[in-house]
């Protein structure tokens, strides 16, 4: 098939009409972006000779993804989240905002409003029989190595089955989600359980898209962080535990070398007693370095629909219905 119509005046005029260029109302940026998006897709249909059958199966897939609120899951799988991070890294470098622990993707499973504690928090509710005790600790410092007291460290992670509270209704409210304010030495400590990695649900729309690319939808065991302090760049990051089969093969592309952290097994009875634990445990140490900034909007997380972030905002509520 050699039919090519994309460059014809008819098609080019049609694209301008579809994008509302001849209309007074609407949003100028929306028009420009939609025009570019449709142009790229129309050209793709021409270049790949996309058949009606292929086109309508794609529409059906989009409906299935939306019906299960899975765009937030497919987004990291198709690299968009990591690409936005790559761009933000480049923007920071150009603005000479250097140093600090690397950022990586937030993912779709944060829930706002977790309980807050000073210095130490227990994150698990004690009901996960398969969860090995984790002692998670670290120090928050600035790029000169000075500890930051009063930094806000928000941590969230999955249970031993790879499920997140709120999205997994079998878990108690805010299980494995806490906000810890660092102590006078900039330290935070959490008692929790070692999370399990998890995969995109088998047969779900996201899984079907990834399988069509010959890819898997697995993530290694990981722990999410938001870290913030006045006059410092807000950090969104996560650590991937070393030794997981997917540590360096994460479908969501969140792994960065500086963010791979070992879990060290501790069996010393003295240390166990000192921590007031009932048996051997695994210790994970993650120190965090925050870059400096005077720009107020860079000191807080960027706006995005998040579960419970805003009770009035319908998009936030939808963000909390993701079937993952
Ligand atoms: Fe996660």
pLDDT tens digits for range 238-261 = 999 999 999 999 999 999 999 999
Tokens of 174: 């805010």
Q: Calculate mean pLDDT across residues 163-192.
A: 97
Distance 238 CA to ligand 1 centre (A): 8
With vertex at residue 81, the alpha carbon angle to CA 75 and CA 85, rounded to the nearest 5 degrees, is 170
Write b or e for each residue in 42-64: b if 16 or more Cβ atoms lie within 10 A of its Cβ, otherwise e.
Answer: beeeeeeeeeeeeeeeeeebeee
Q: State the pLDDT at residue 236.
A: 98
Asked if the model's pLDDT at residue 320 lies above 70, the reply is no
Tell how far the Cα of 133 is from the centroid of ligand 1, in angstroms.
19
Tell me what the mean pLDDT of segment 212-239 comes to: 97
C-alpha–C-alpha distance, residues 45 and 204, integer Å: 26
CA nearest to 17, candidates 30, 7, 31: 31
Give residue 261 CA to ligand 1 midpoint distance, Å. Answer: 15
- The Å distance, Cα 7 to ligand 1 centre, comes to 44
Distance from C-alpha of 126 to C-alpha of 124, rounded to nearest angstrom = 6
CA 144 – ligand 1 centroid, Å: 30
In this structure, is residue 186 part of a structural domain?
A: yes
Answer yes or no: is pLDDT of 132 > 60: yes
Average pLDDT over residues 14-21: 98
Cα(213) to centroid of ligand 1, in Å? 22
Pair 105, 23 in one domain:
no
- Assign 1 a pLDDT band (cuts: 50, 70, 90): low
For residues 126 and 228, state if they share a domain. yes
CATH, residue 127: 2.60.130.10
Cα 14 to Cα 32, 43, 100, 124, distances in angstroms:
14, 13, 49, 57
Give distance in angstroms: CA of 224 to centre of ligand 1.
Answer: 6
What's the 171 CA to ligand 1 centre distance in angstroms? 16
Q: How far, in Å, from the CA of 104 to the mean position of ligand 1? A: 11
One domain, residues 33 and 84: no
Q: State residue 321's pLDDT score.
A: 67
Residue 324 placed within a domain: no
Q: What is the pLDDT of residue 311?
A: 75
- Beta bridge pairs of residue 120: 189
Same domain, 16 and 154: no
**CA–centroid distance, residue 194 to ligand 1 (Å):** 13
Q: What is the pTM of this model?
A: 0.93
Residue 309 included in any domain: yes
Are the beta carbons of 18 and 30 closer than 8 angstroms?
A: no
State the Cα angle at 61 between 57 and 67, rounded to 5°: 145
Copy the structure tokens of residue 311. Answer: 């009770």
Residue in the structure block whose two tokens are 């089969």: 245
Are both 102 and 228 inside the same structural domain? yes
Helices in the chain by DSSP H: which ranges? 9-18, 28-47, 52-67, 71-77, 80-94, 205-212, 269-274, 314-319
Q: How far apart are the CA of 178 and the centre of ligand 1, in A?
A: 15
Cα(162) to ligand 1 centroid in Å equals 9
Q: For 209-234, what is the mean pLDDT?
A: 97
Task: Please report, rounded to a whole number, the percentage of residues in the chain having pLDDT higher than 70.
Answer: 96
pLDDT of residue 43 exceeding 70, the answer is yes
3-state DSSP assignment of residue 147: strand
Residue 127 pLDDT level (bands cut at 50, 70, 90): very high
92 CA distance to ligand 1 middle (Å): 25
Cα-atom radius of gyration of the chain, to the nearest Å? 23
Count of beta carbons in the 10 Å neighbourhood of residue 105: 22
Determine the distance separating the centroid of ligand 1 and the alpha carbon of 201, expressed in angstroms. Answer: 14
**Domain match, 152 and 37 both:** no
* Close Cβ partners of 87 (under 8 Å, ≥ 6 residues apart): none
Neighbours of 206 (CB within 10 A): 27
Rounded Cα–Cα distance for residues 271 and 15 (Å): 68
pLDDT above 90: percentage of residues in the chain: 91
Whether residue 203 is found in the same domain as residue 253: yes
Q: Are residues 131 and 14 in the same domain?
A: no
Kindly give the distance from the C-alpha atom of residue 109 to the centroid of ligand 1, in angstroms, as a whole number.
Answer: 7
Tell me how far the alpha carbon of residue 164 lies from the centroid of ligand 1, in angstroms. 8
CA of 251 from ligand 1 middle (Å) equals 11
Residue 226 shares a structural domain with residue 131: yes
Phi and psi torsions of 318, nearest 5°: -65, -35
Neighbours of ion ligand 1 (CB under 5 A): 107
Instruction: Output the pLDDT for position 60.
Output: 97
Q: Residue 67: what are its φ and ψ, rounded to 5°? A: -60, -30
Residues 124 and 199 in one domain: yes
Phi/psi of residue 238, nearest 5 degrees:
-160, 155
- What SS3 class is residue 100? coil
Farthest-apart Cα atoms in the chain, separation:
80
Ligand 1 centre and the CA of 98: distance in Å?
A: 26
How far does the centroid of ligand 1 lie from the alpha carbon of residue 221, in Å? Answer: 8
208 in any annotated domain: yes
Number of domains within the chain: 2
107: CA distance to ligand 1 center in Å?
A: 6
CA distances from 115 to 55, 178, 267 (A): 47, 5, 30
Instruction: Tell me which residue range forms the domain holding 37.
Output: 9-50
């Amino acid at each position: 098939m050699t039919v090519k119509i994309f460059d014809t005046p008819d098609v080019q005029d049609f694209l301008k009409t579809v994008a509302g260029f001849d209309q007074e109302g609407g949003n100028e940026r929306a028009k420009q972006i939609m025009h570019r998006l449709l142009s790229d897709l129309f050209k793709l249909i021409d270049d790949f000779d996309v058949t009606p059958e292929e086109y309508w199966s794609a529409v059906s897939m989009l409906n299935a993804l939306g019906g299960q609120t899975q765009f937030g899951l497919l987004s990291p799988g198709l690299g968009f989240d990591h690409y936005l991070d790559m761009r933000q890294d480049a923007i920071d470098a150009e603005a000479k905002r250097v140093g600090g622990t690397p950022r990586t993707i937030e993912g779709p499973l944060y829930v706002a409003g977790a309980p807050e504690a000073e210095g130490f928090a227990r994150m698990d509710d004690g009901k996960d029989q398969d969860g090995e005790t984790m002692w998670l600790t670290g120090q928050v410092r600035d790029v000169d190595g000075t500890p930051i007291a009063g930094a806000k460290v928000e941590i969230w992670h999955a249970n031993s089955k790879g499920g997140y509270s709120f999205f997994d209704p079998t878990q108690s409210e805010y299980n494995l989600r806490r906000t810890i304010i660092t102590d006078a030495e900039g330290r935070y400590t959490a008692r929790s359980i070692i999370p399990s990695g998890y995969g995109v649900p088998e047969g779900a729309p996201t899984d079907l898209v990834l399988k069509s690319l010959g890819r898997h939808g697995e993530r290694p065991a990981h722990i999410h962080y938001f870290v913030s302090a006045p006059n410092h760049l807000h950090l969104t990051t996560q650590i991937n535990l070393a030794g997981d089969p997917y540590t360096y093969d994460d479908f969501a592309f969140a792994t960065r070398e500086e963010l791979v952290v070992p879990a060290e097994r501790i069996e010393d009875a003295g240390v166990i007693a000192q921590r007031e634990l009932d048996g051997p445990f695994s210790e994970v140490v993650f120190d965090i370095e925050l870059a400096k900034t005077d720009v107020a909007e860079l000191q807080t997380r960027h706006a995005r629909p998040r579960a419970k972030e805003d009770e009035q905002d319908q998009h936030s509520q939808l963000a909390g219905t993701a079937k993952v």
